Amino acid sequence: MKKMTDQELYKRCQECGGNARRWTREFAYYLPEVARRDLHRRRGFQSIYEFAAKLSGMSFEVCNRVLQLNNKFEHMPLLWEQIRMHGWSKLRVIAFVVNSENEKIWIENLNRCTKAGLEKLVKNFKSVPGEEAQKPDIPLAKSTTQSAMTLGDNVPCGDRAILDDRTVLKFKVDDETEFQFKKFKHELEKKKGKAMTMGEVLKELLQKAETPKLKTRKIKKITKITRYIPVQRKRETEEKQNDRCRAENCNELATQFHHPLRFSLNRTHKELVKLCRTHHQLAHAGFIEERDEWQVNWQARKRDKRVEEVDEKVRQARRRL
């Protein structure tokens, strides 16, 4: 194998994985048409499942779901097209609320939301009075977006997400430095009479190294309002709100700070709220009334053009992850 750095290898895997998923979605798009034409039999396959498995490695279960979905969307060809972009599992979330009247809105929602976001919208979808919302006859698979989304915690919206105020730093040092550092740690622990983490030791070291010049620069920074939310503000928000997400009827743990007025438009950290990851995403996609009750609507609201622009940037940043 060609010599690659870790970064190159990782990037290559991302690229290949992304392409593999893209082609699987494309394959799923064509599959029902093959079944309709009975093409698989004419080419010597026993069943459409065998065709799917041999040509693309698609499992029986997935093949079945793709065909079921296609049945559901029979009269909504525009919606079926979306499988090429979003994949079957995301389409399946909306299968029981979409109809030819609201098709366009749900296509827009597909573009704006992740799968977890769509699941929340579907819950809030109000059916026409007198008509009961249909219950899915296939149980929805447990969300698989979780692990892939974890990365998103660190970027979102310009409001930095926090679970913990600490960051993991990794770096390499030579033997000499390691020895010196450990020695310093040991002596410091003896002096303080308690065990210390590497982070605490580093903090002590940096405080010792801080020159007067650095200090003055630091003071200046504090007086300026930056995107970074001061700890004091975070605490105030947490005191006002309990530890649950601010969105209506959401019982998830709130993990992300959010600016209802958008920081880049107002440059202030007043009126902060804390949301769970999914509702934070929905807020930036325009599905939440960002005051009083923090209601979620299944349809995106018309918003101020500037807010929409800011949020579009946030969504783009997420997609690049």
* The two three-digit tokens of residue 277, written as one number: 């990851």
Tell me the one-letter amino acid at 118: L
Return the closest-CA partner of residue 156 out of 240, 267, 263: 263
**In the chain, which ranges are continuous DSSP H helix?**
6-37, 39-42, 48-56, 60-72, 77-81, 83-86, 88-93, 103-112, 115-124, 145-149, 175-192, 198-209, 212-223, 231-240, 263-266, 277-284, 305-319
Using the contact rule CB under 5 A, the part of the chain among 89-97, 123-131, 184-192, 268-276 near Zn ion is: 268-276
Using the contact rule CB under 5 A, the part of the chain among 81-89, 205-213, 219-227, 252-260 near Zn ion is: 252-260
Backbone angles phi, psi at 273, to 5 degrees: -130, 165
Distance of CA 124 to the CA centre of its chain: 20
Question: Which residue, chain included where needed, has tokens 């296509």?
Answer: 107
- State in angstroms the smallest separation of the CB of 238 from Zn ion: 15
The answer to whether the Cα torsion of 37, 42, 46, 48 is positive or negative is negative
Closest CB to Zn ion among residues 196, 261: 261
- State in angstroms the smallest separation of the CB of 230 from Zn ion: 17
The answer to whether the Cα torsion of 281, 232, 201, 205 is positive or negative is positive
Instruction: Name which position in 62, 110, 245, 282 contacts Zn ion (CB under 5 A).
Output: 245
- State in angstroms the smallest separation of the CB of 245 from Zn ion: 3
Question: Which residue, chain included where needed, has tokens 């982070």?
Answer: 199
- State in angstroms the smallest separation of the CB of 219 from Zn ion: 29
Using the contact rule CB under 5 A, the part of the chain among 43-51, 161-169, 206-214, 274-282 near Zn ion is: 274-282
**Residues forming beta bridges with residue 288, ordered by sequence position:** 296
Instruction: Name which position in 119, 252, 289, 312 contacts Zn ion (CB under 5 A).
Output: 252
Instruction: Name which position in 65, 258, 274, 318 contacts Zn ion (CB under 5 A).
Output: 258
- State in angstroms the smallest separation of the CB of 120 from Zn ion: 8
- State in angstroms the smallest separation of the CB of 232 from Zn ion: 19
Tell me the one-letter amino acid at 266: N
- State in angstroms the smallest separation of the CB of 225 from Zn ion: 17
Instruction: Name which position in 48, 98, 121, 157 contacts Zn ion (CB under 5 A).
Output: 157
**CA separation, residue 204 to residues 1, 100, 199, 219 (Å):** 45, 64, 9, 19
Q: Note whether 273 binds Zn ion by CB under 5 A.
A: no
Instruction: Name which position in 159, 237, 286, 300 contacts Zn ion (CB under 5 A).
Output: 159
Closest CB to Zn ion among residues 211, 316: 316
User: Residues 110-149: x/- map of binding to Zn ion (CB under 5 A)?
Assistant: ----------------------------------------
Using the contact rule CB under 5 A, the part of the chain among 108-116, 132-140, 182-190, 243-251 near Zn ion is: 243-251
Instruction: Name which position in 250, 261, 307, 317 contacts Zn ion (CB under 5 A).
Output: 250
Using the contact rule CB under 5 A, the part of the chain among 60-68, 110-118, 214-222, 239-247 near Zn ion is: 239-247
**CA separation, residue 243 to residues 239, 273, 275 (Å):** 9, 11, 9
Instruction: Name which position in 91, 110, 121, 276 contacts Zn ion (CB under 5 A).
Output: 276
| DSSP class of 95 | T
Residues that bind Zn ion in the complex, under the rule CB under 5 A = 157, 159, 245, 247, 250, 252, 258, 276, 279
